[in-house]
Amino acid sequence: MPPGFNPNGVITAKASLDDARYHDQKTFLQLLDESTAAMRKIPGVRNAAVGLSLPYERVLNDGVTIHGGPDDGHQVGTDVVYVTPWYFETLEIPLAAGRSFLPSDGPNDAPVAVINSTFARKFFPGVNPVGLRLDKGVQIVGVAADVPISSGLNPIAPLMSEETMYIPAAQVDPRLLALVHTWFQPSWIVRSASPVEGLTEQMQKALTSVAPGLPFSGFYSMRDVQATTLSKQRVETALLSTMALLALLLSAVGIFALVSSIVSQKTREIGIRIALGSSIRRAMFHVGSPGLMASLLGMLLGLALAAGVLRVMRSVLYGVDIYDAPSLIAILAVLVLVTLGATVLPTMRVGRIEPAKTLREE
């Protein structure tokens, strides 16, 4: 799944706001506004913003009531991310419709939200959601492109796009700040056109100028964030791939052993057949056909079992349909090639059988 943003040139850093000082809305907003403004003044920095979470990361989940569209009046689950103005511009997340957040979207202004394309397709199919409202009078002002995120329910699930609602940081319910920052550390995001010397030190200096004693927990590129998120998936994929290769190797060895045994047991018969005029090709087919037939029956049985098992596994598959044709065709092609190799190699011994010598030995 290609990312709906440009990760190049982005440096991020997290800071813990689980402190009573930042549970006050005025102090919280002053920290975000003044620190990002200071970071934008760093030579070489193109833009800066803050978000509760980043692409590739786990996000906050909540419920929201839909007004308009087929799900009018229904409460649905969605991911929620608070962001400051210039968040979409800093990550270069394109907008499919409407606008991004402005500094004028403050705590005393009309509540607004930007939804992602998955949210729009699922809950507003065939409808332009810009201008429609969610619960508590929140108006949708824009539709942003999807970005890959980590499922909050399954940390080892592949990255995917889920329904996401972005809200201005200035319009977060002050009563929720303490709860949200207990579980999440917001990220400061800086985009530069080229490497900036001492950028991380200057980012920390900009934060310290507003909140002395508040450190960043580390500095990461978006590629680092992606690698960290996918680390568990890569380990599991490597383990499953290793087990699959071992199973395939055992199958190939079994077929090879079966055909080799048939060649050894039927050496005299094959010698007689060749002596009586049978061609080498027919003799090889006669020897190899049991292995090929057993493999073919195994594949058919495996497909039949897979058809039933895949239905049960529907809930643990991500990003592919249970009957994903390209995957099934690729697997069958590999099995056929391995089967042919394991069958043809031992049958080639038939060509080296000398009928006269075999009959004399028998």
User: DSSP string spanning 15-67?
Assistant: ----SGGGGSHHHHHHHHHHHHHHHHTSTTEEEEEEESS-TTS--EEEEEEEE
Residue of 19 and 159 predicted with greater confidence: 19
Residue of 354 and 224 predicted with greater confidence: 224
Arithmetic mean of pLDDT, 276-296 = 70
Arithmetic mean of pLDDT, 8-26 = 93
Arithmetic mean of pLDDT, 101-119 = 95
Alpha helices in 266-321 (DSSP H): 267-275, 280-312
| 362 pLDDT more than 60 | no
Instruction: Please tell me the predicted confidence (pLDDT) of residue 357.
Output: 56
Arithmetic mean of pLDDT, 226-246 = 85
Structure tokens, 291: 């292995």
Residue of 158 and 46 predicted with greater confidence: 46
- In contact, 162 and 151? CB cutoff 8 Å: yes
The model's pLDDT over 311-332, given as tens digits with 9 standing for 90+, comes to 776 655 655 666 777 877 887 7
Alpha helices in the chain (DSSP H): 25-40, 87-91, 117-123, 177-183, 199-210, 222-265, 267-275, 280-312, 325-347, 355-361
| 156 pLDDT more than 90 | no
Residue of 235 and 168 predicted with greater confidence: 168
**H/E stretch holding 97:** strand 95-98
At 317, the amino acid letter reads L
Instruction: Please tell me the predicted confidence (pLDDT) of residue 276.
Output: 62
- In contact, 214 and 208? CB cutoff 8 Å: yes
120, 123, 127, 131: CA torsion to nearest 10: -70
CA distances from 92 to 10, 38, 106, 265, 267 (A): 10, 20, 23, 69, 71
The model's pLDDT over 49-102, given as tens digits with 9 standing for 90+, comes to 999 999 998 888 888 998 877 778 888 899 999 999 999 999 999 999 999 999
Which range has highest mean pLDDT (240-249, 255-264, 304-313)?
A: 240-249
Residue of 334 and 99 predicted with greater confidence: 99
Residue of 164 and 233 predicted with greater confidence: 164
| 275 pLDDT more than 70 | no
Residue of 38 and 279 predicted with greater confidence: 38
- In contact, 286 and 259? CB cutoff 8 Å: no
Instruction: Please tell me the predicted confidence (pLDDT) of residue 282.
Output: 74
Instruction: Please tell me the predicted confidence (pLDDT) of residue 2.
Output: 47
Q: pTM above 0.75?
A: no
Residue of 338 and 57 predicted with greater confidence: 57
Confidence category of residue 1, pLDDT binned at 50, 70, 90: very low
Angstrom distance (rounded) from CA 240 to CA 328: 17
